[in-house]
Every structure is written in structure tokens, then in C-alpha cells.
Amino acid sequence: MNKPSTLEQFYKDNFPSCNTGRFSVSPQMGHINVFERGIICKQLAPFSRNDYYKISLIEGRGILHYTDKSVEVTGHALVFYNPAMAYSWEPLSEKQGGYFCLFNNSFIAPLLKDTTVKKSSLFTPTSNPAYNIDEEQAQEIVFIFRKMNKELESAYEAKYEVMRHYLQLLIHEGHKLQPANSTGQKYLNASSRIASLFAELLERQFPVDSTEHELRLKSPVDFAERLSVHVNHLNRAVKEITGKSTTELISARVANEAKSLLQHTDNSVAEIAYSLGFEHASNFNIFFKKQTGLTPLTVRSAQNLRLSQQMQNV
């Protein structure tokens, strides 16, 4: 699997001659930094996973590519980047403004006592990591980024604690933008509750970040046992709420992860097959073709061609 890009590599690529304290990474304290987007985000960025988190205020037009999806951003957007996901930014306008902060797990760890932080887009898989905002909301977030930037330049001995508070505020601002049905869900009946727990348990297994460990929950029976319900009860509840069978939902999610691994890693098809619970690559090929209409090698070849064309256009 391709190794995630590190903080050190980020600075080496973008600020090779800078060696100030703001660029140091402390194992104890962790690391956080703030930048203006216009300095870095003017050309196509290749798909990559990173070993750090990132929150970005985007001003300008562009396309955010993530996993196998893309979303066009126009005007202003607040975007949350999780280290486990692969992203690429394709600018469509000459003007690329805004700010972004990047930080590692050590820095944000003390904030995980805040349940809202744990439920935020940084840690909870969402269908779309980008939230459109209006001019007034953008200015409020700009104010937070500018305060963070100013604090980093200060000599205040507790400035990193202050930075955590600003980071926490940014995360809460983003949490307000999440759709109402994505947080604090209320269960209308037992079927709704079971279906929701199934969906959460299914999603927890992804993304797959190692080819050495295969999925533990692969069948409706596996999920039923974990949820302490009879498999027939689980199947009825899921069908009632989603209109799809438990097997269909599991298969679709596994196929989606397979597609992401084929596109964003250099793992062999056999390695991907094993990590997704298939003992033999031939069984995986049959499954993938049935789910997507394509073979694994077709998807990988198309991605390699796309990356080659992107690099030629940079």
C-alpha cells in the first residue's frame, strides 16, 4: 500500500528552505500550522493520503476529488480532510484564496474528550467532506484562521493550548453545517434503530488500511451476532428501512472500498482481495465484476491512465 505523505514531506515539497520553529514536529506536543491557500493550491494536486488532518477554507472554484467521487466547489467551502482518505484538488479558477490548517493526531488527541469533535467530519465518514458556506460564514471562519496565525507568531508560553481552542471552535463551526439527519439521530422504531446500528457497524470497518488483516464482519450472520439479534430480524429491519437487503448493502460497501483501493494504492489484486475477505483472487474478480460491471484490472488501468494525463497537464 502506498505510504501516506508525512508532515516532513509536506514541508520539504512546499517550503524547502524554511527551518523555523513553526515547522517543527514535537512527538509530545504534536504539531499544528496555518497557511494561506493561494501559496500552495494553484495547480493540480495528485491523489494522496496523508499522516495528518487538515481543515481548509476554500475561496475560489475547483473540484475536490476523494475516493471515487468528485464535488465542484464554487465560492466558499469548508473542507475536512481525514488521513485515511485520499484527496486531490483540481483548481478551476486562477484565484485560489482562503486558509488551511494541518495538524497531527498527537495535537488533536486532547480534544477527543469532546463528543462533538469525535462526531465531526474529521472522524466520521461522510458522503461529502465539503460544506458550502455563504460570505458571512466565510468571514467568521477567516477571523478564526487569522487569530490562529497570529497566535502562532506570538511568544505566549501557552499558545498551543490556545491553538487547540481555536481548532475546537473550527470543528464546531463545521459540525453546525452537517445535515441534521447525520447527528443526534432519533430512532422512530426498533427497525430504524437496528438498521442504523448495522450501518454504523458496517462503516466502522472502512477504510481498509492494511492488507495483513481481513474484514471480520462479512456476512449478515456476522453482523447479527455482533448486534445480538437473530439474522432474520436483522434482515427484516434493514429491508424495511433501506429497501435493500443486508447482503446488498454489505456487497456494495465492499465493492466501493475495493474500487478505492484499486485506484489509490499499489496493492496487488490478490492483496486487496484478501484484505476484503476473499481467499482467492478469482472469487474477488467475479464479485467485483458482478457489482460494478468492470474487472479490477480495468479499474486500475483507467486510474493509471488518468494519473498519467494529470501529471502531463501539471
Looking up residue 285, the CATH number of its domain turns out to be 1.10.10.60
pLDDT of 23 reads 54
Cα torsion angle, 222, 209, 175, 76, sign: negative
Highest mean pLDDT range out of 85-89, 189-193, 221-225? 221-225
| Interatomic CA distance for residues 264 and 85, integer angstroms | 9
Note whether 209 and 145 are same-domain residues.
no
In a domain, 1, yes or no: no
Q: What is the pLDDT confidence band of residue 44, given thresholds at 50, 70 and 90? A: low
Asked whether residue 172 is domain-assigned, the answer is yes
Number of domains in the chain: 2
- Mean pLDDT for 198-225 is 86
pLDDT at residue 143 in the model: 96
Q: Find, among 67, 17, 60, the residue nearest to 41 by Cα.
A: 60
Query: Is 165 within a domain?
Result: yes
Query: Does residue 201 share a domain with residue 116?
Result: no
What does the alpha-carbon distance between residue 3 and residue 212 come to, in Å, rounded to a whole number? 15
Q: pTM of the prediction?
A: 0.59
Say if residue 88's pLDDT is above 60: yes
Same domain, 125 and 250: no
* Together in a domain, 119 and 233: no
The last residue of one of the domains, among 165, 182, 199, is 182
pLDDT at residue 170 above 90?
A: yes
Residues 154 and 59 in one domain: yes
* C-alpha to C-alpha distance for 91 and 93, rounded to whole angstroms: 6
In a domain, 239, yes or no: yes
DSSP state of 278: -
Q: How far is CA 181 from CA 153, 171, 177, 184, in A?
A: 40, 18, 11, 7
Q: Are both 20 and 94 inside the same structural domain? A: yes
Report if residue 2 sits inside a domain. no
Residues 129 and 204 in one domain: no
Residues 151 and 240 in one domain: no
Which pLDDT tens digit goes with each residue over 229-258? 899 999 999 998 889 999 999 999 999 999
In this structure, the answer to whether residues 200 and 177 fall within a common structural domain is: no
Same domain, 45 and 125: yes
Residue 11 lies in a domain: yes
Phi, psi of 186 (to 5 degrees): -105, 135
Residues 150 and 196 in one domain: no
In a domain, 83, yes or no: yes
Above 50 in pLDDT, residue 178? Answer: yes
What's residue 184's pLDDT? 40
More confident residue, 253 or 68: 253
Domain end, chosen from 148, 182, 216, is at 182
DSSP letters for 137-162: HHHHHHHHHHHHHHHHHS--TTHHHH
The cell numbers describing 238, all together, are 434493514
Taking residues 157-177, report their average pLDDT. Answer: 92
Question: What is the C-alpha to C-alpha distance for residues 314 and 310, in angstroms, rounded to an integer?
Answer: 6
* Residue at 120 is within a domain: yes
Please report which residue ranges of the chain form alpha helices under DSSP H. Answer: 7-14, 105-108, 115-119, 135-153, 159-177, 190-204, 220-227, 231-242, 246-264, 269-275, 281-292, 296-313
Q: What's the mean per-residue pLDDT of the chain?
A: 83
pLDDT, position 1: 41
154 and 129 both lie in a single domain: yes
Range of the domain at 295: 190-313
Residue 145's CATH number = 2.60.120.280
User: Where does a domain end: 127, 160, 182?
Assistant: 182
Residue (of 205, 185, 207) closest to 68 by Cα position: 207
